[in-house]
Amino acid sequence: MRVHLFVTCLVDQMRPETGWAAVELLEKAGCEVVVPAAQTCCGQPAFNSGYRAEALEVARQWLRAFKDAEYIVCPSGSCTSMVKVFYEEIFDKGGEEAALAHKLAGRTWELTQFLVHKLGRTDVGASYPGKVAYHASCHLLRELNERESPKALLGKVRDMELVPLPGNETVCCGFGGTFAVKMPEISEAMMDEKLKAIEAAGADCVVACDGGCLLHIGGGLTRRGAHARAVHIAELLAGRVPPPQPQAGH
């Protein structure tokens, strides 16, 4: 099975480790991974800010990059949503581009959804000796309606304890893309709730399927000097997350 990796601009620029982890997981599952060189970004930052014309241009580039793919896999719930849900709104209905976008949307998968629902894998041989909290990123949860696949994979990680975030697991972390810099005070207040919950749960690690959430939550954790780290689920599953340091005072 040949899989085209839609690596996302965030992973490409900020966290290539996530990209390599995704490649490893896919190759271990028997896929041939190719990475189209023409990909840059899905266009979501422009779209979310109301710059639809600019988003359209960037989306066209995405179509060009992936037009021959049969399986497009992406380690980001929000970028996957952009393609699967919002490309419907960007392209003029009834046109050729819209038809191509629709076709490719049907071929695009978020990473955990692909592993679990397409490849039928939940046990990827992962282990992590620590407490992990799961943050349910909003786009994966509500635009792509996915509640199962990340938890199914986490459930098979050896030695790991999944700690709940009571009342907060499915609450938005406050990233929201440009929201984080347009409404920083509110973004911070929402981040506070997430950090409080992570600390109360005694987590060594908070895991999510979205690099944006992780940048924001992780940035808050390091700013506060907190014990927990924010990691992408791909990196945890690929065994690329070092074991937790003992917590101070524990």
How far is residue 239's CA from residue 233's CA, in Å, rounded to a whole number?
A: 10
Tell which residue, 177, 243, 168, 247, has the closest CA to residue 215. 177
- Comparison of 157 and 203: residue with beta carbon closer to another protein: 203
Residues 3-42 that bind another protein (CB under 8 A): 4, 7, 9, 11-16, 19-20, 34-41
The dihedral formed by the CA atoms of 39, 44, 47 and 49, expressed in degrees to the nearest 10: -130
Q: How far is the CB of 55 from another protein (least distance, A)?
A: 8
* 148, 193, 202, 247: residue in contact with another protein (rule CB under 8 A): 193
* 101, 116, 172, 207: residue in contact with another protein (rule CB under 8 A): 172
**Could you please report the per-residue DSSP string of 39-80?**
----SHHHHHTT-HHHHHHHHHHHHHHHTT-S-EEES-HHHH
How many residues sit close enough to another protein to count as binding (CB under 8 A)? 79
Q: How far is the CB of 161 from another protein (least distance, A)?
A: 26
How far is residue 122's CA from residue 158's CA, in Å, rounded to a whole number?
A: 12
3-class DSSP state of 247 = coil
* 104, 111, 174, 226: residue in contact with another protein (rule CB under 8 A): 174
- Comparison of 20 and 102: residue with beta carbon closer to another protein: 20
Q: How far is CA 213 from CA 158, 165, 168, 169, 230, in A?
A: 25, 16, 14, 13, 9
Site string for another protein, 38-77 (x = CB under 8 A): xxxx-x-xxxxxxxxxxx-xx-xx---xxxxxx-------
Residues 205-224 that bind another protein (CB under 8 A): 215-216, 218-220, 222-223
Residues 91-130 that bind another protein (CB under 8 A): none
- Comparison of 127 and 222: residue with beta carbon closer to another protein: 222
- Cβ-based neighbour number of residue 97 at 10 Å: 16
Q: How far is the CB of 127 from another protein (least distance, A)?
A: 25
Q: How far is the CB of 50 from another protein (least distance, A)?
A: 3
> Is residue 177 at the binding interface for another protein, with CB under 8 A as the rule?
yes
Tell which residue, 198, 200, 236, 204, has the closest CA to residue 220. 198
